[in-house]
Structure 1
Amino acid sequence: MNCMKATLLIGTLLVSASTLAIDKTAAGAVAGAAIGAATGKSVKSTVGGAVVGAGTGAMFKSGDKGKAARKGGAVGAVVGAGAAAITGKSVLKGAAVGAGAGGLVGEATH
């Protein structure tokens, strides 16, 4: 199992390096999904990784779309952390997923 995780992690790094030419949001989603699949044990971790990766990629864009994604990410992080605290889940994980989702929403609404 550890060998498979290491192989997936190395593969993720290779894929993320080769996807620099494509859109940063899509590249982040691919890299995040691969890392989520490698470190987690469920589809939920893969989807969560994709959301966080895509949101992070969107926030690294320059211009108005990147600025909107960063603002959305900041609001999403606060909302995600608050929701996680209320439900008794990991606040850090809630903030990360909230920031990813907020970044995507910020980019999409701009």
Structure 2
Amino acid sequence: MKMIKTTLIISTLIFSASGMAIDKTGAGALVGAAVGAAAGKDVKSTVGGAVVGAGAGAMLKSGDKGKAARKGGAIGAAVGAGAAVLTGKSVLKGAAVGAGAGGLVGEATH
């Protein structure tokens, strides 16, 4: 049942994202939220997936916004990994969420 639900959510988001004229940040957020919802069991994993996906989408942009997002993502990954080490959490997860958040901040501040 969970596999059917996951497939339905991802299929719906893929078709809705392809039908809309959204940028890479929005598409990344949709896909990340779907993957987070499918992989996790709560809202926290969905939000974390959306942040990582949006940051990844922002980093894939070309031009100055993409460059700023990639720079922010690198800094965010380092900060997220460091915070994860200090709190005893997963370093990989901390780096991923930090990179996503840093990518979004880098894009927004450009």
Q: TM-score normalized by structure 1?
A: 0.90
Equivalent position of 1:71 in the other structure: 71
* 1:25-64 mapped onto 2 (5 Å cutoff): 25-64=25-64
CA apart distance, 1:38: 1.3
Equivalent position of 1:6 in the other structure: 7
Query: Contact (CA 8 Å) 2:77, 2:102: kept in 1 or not?
Result: yes
Gapped regions of structure 1 (runs ≥ 5): none
CA apart distance, 1:20: 7.6
Query: Contact (CA 8 Å) 1:20, 1:27: kept in 2 or not?
Result: no
Question: Residue type of the partner of 2:104?
Answer: L
- Go from structure 1 to structure 2 and tell me whether the alpha carbon gap of 1:20 and 1:56 turns closer, same or farther (over 3 Å shift): farther
Equivalent position of 2:84 in the other structure: 84
Corresponding residue pairs, total: 109
Q: Distance in 2 between matches of 1:34 and 1:6?
A: 10
- Go from structure 1 to structure 2 and tell me whether the alpha carbon gap of 1:109 and 1:77 turns closer, same or farther (over 3 Å shift): same
Question: Residue type of the partner of 1:64?
Answer: D
Q: Distance in 2 between matches of 1:66 and 1:19?
A: 23
| Identical residues among aligned pairs (%) | 72
Query: Contact (CA 8 Å) 2:73, 2:101: kept in 1 or not?
Result: yes
**Cα RMSD, aligned residues only:** 1.6
CA apart distance, 1:6: 3.1
SS at match of 2:61: coil
- Go from structure 1 to structure 2 and tell me whether the alpha carbon gap of 1:20 and 1:78 turns closer, same or farther (over 3 Å shift): farther
Q: Distance in 2 between matches of 1:80 and 1:63?
A: 25
The answer to whether structure 1 residue 105 and structure 2 residue 105 are counterparts is yes
